[in-house]
Structure 1
């Protein structure tokens, strides 16, 4: 994967990578390159499951530590990428229609920039493990996500209002294009939920696909 262009000496993947571009109401087909992430898995309602909060509180210290190492040792600063999530359930209606969050499985993700060597990432994870010891550090892994061809769109609004967009994607857009789901539903949270009102939150909704 080519190194993203820099802006003001600090890379922002939301601006530099095409896979982080989406428009509301537009369902775009694109090929996603293999990307490396910090990952933590879990199950249950993200609003109430303690593991969800612990996963977030584990990912960010590592992500900021990797950013610091990149800036200090590699002389390449960047904006910590947005939080992302893979979501699924044994019955996907629990996700797209019923929205029964207690039945959801998930993997939270934070992108690792391509220019940071694997050994440097591993050493940074170990440093955080021994110095800060976040709750789920033993569950954190670094892995490559391979999604290939995907369809994605931008949802503006509360997370609980995603249902109709997902229904349209799965039952109208994909069949009309001769496609079917072939992987795990993926969300990219472009907005800081601590600062942005729910009705203004911007979330990329992505679905890996294959010919029907």
Structure 2
């Protein structure tokens, strides 16, 4: 990620290939470099889990405080990135057929620039807590452990596509990706299912939601 200065504001959605949407259901492969994220973990159906709502309320105040600090202290301004999610479950069918969201484990993400440090995140978390922004103080829903953390995710080679429409209509393209595109290309799945929510979920009609669907992959073993 290129550094910026002065009055320039970087929008990583426009400068990074990993955020290039492409066409609806156009499957492609790409290599995603190690990337830094704010992260919050949780479990359960995102539609009715208080834990999910609390996680969203925790992560964005820290993300904005971090952006303001980067601009003020480093002269590096950027657009706060959209919400993302890593998803996993004991049975992949919970994504593509049964859609049993109660079984899902998730990690919410917001991408941050490579120059972000642990100290900057700690300061941003404290600043968000001081302003009374949601759960941004770093306390968990249960009040026992920090929620928002800084971590580098190295996904490497991935399959990716853009889905336009409601989340519950992702199943068919995920089946295509998992069962045909990846194995027919000589690869197998690894890691966690990754979604990038390019649309503002609060202001966009379900039919117009734009979501990047990403799956890390590895070469099939020979023999």
Q: TM-score, normalised by structure 2?
A: 0.89
Any runs of at least 4 consecutive aligned residues in structure 1 with deviations exceeding 3 A, and if so which?
A: none
In structure 2, what is the Cα distance between the partners aligned to 1:210 and 1:104? Answer: 23
Contact 1:4–1:17 (CA under 8 A) maintained in structure 2 = no
Contact 2:158–2:217 (CA under 8 A) maintained in structure 1 = yes
Contact 2:121–2:149 (CA under 8 A) maintained in structure 1 = no
Contact 1:179–1:210 (CA under 8 A) maintained in structure 2 = yes
Larger mean CA deviation between 179-188 and 115-124 belongs to 115-124
When the two chains are superposed, the root-mean-square deviation of aligned CA atoms in Å is 1.7
Once the two structures are superposed, the pairs formed by residues 115-134 of structure 1 within 5 Å of their partners are: 115-132=115-132, 134=134
Larger mean CA deviation between 180-189 and 136-145 belongs to 136-145
Q: 1:82-139 CA distances to partner (integer Å, 9 max, x unpaired)?
A: 1000011011111222111111110000011113333222322233245436336222
Contact 1:87–1:107 (CA under 8 A) maintained in structure 2 = yes
In the alignment, structure 1 residue 139 sits paired with structure 2 residue 147: yes
In the alignment, structure 1 residue 183 sits paired with structure 2 residue 191: yes
Aligned to 1:153: 161
Contact 2:58–2:147 (CA under 8 A) maintained in structure 1 = no
In structure 2, what is the Cα distance between the partners aligned to 1:162 and 1:199? Answer: 12
Aligned to 1:15: 14
Q: TM-score, normalised by structure 1?
A: 0.93
Gaps of at least 5 residues in structure 2 are 139-145
SS in 1 for 2:213: strand
Displacement of 1:187 in angstroms is 0.2
Task: State the aligned residue count.
Answer: 210
Gaps of at least 5 residues in structure 1 are none
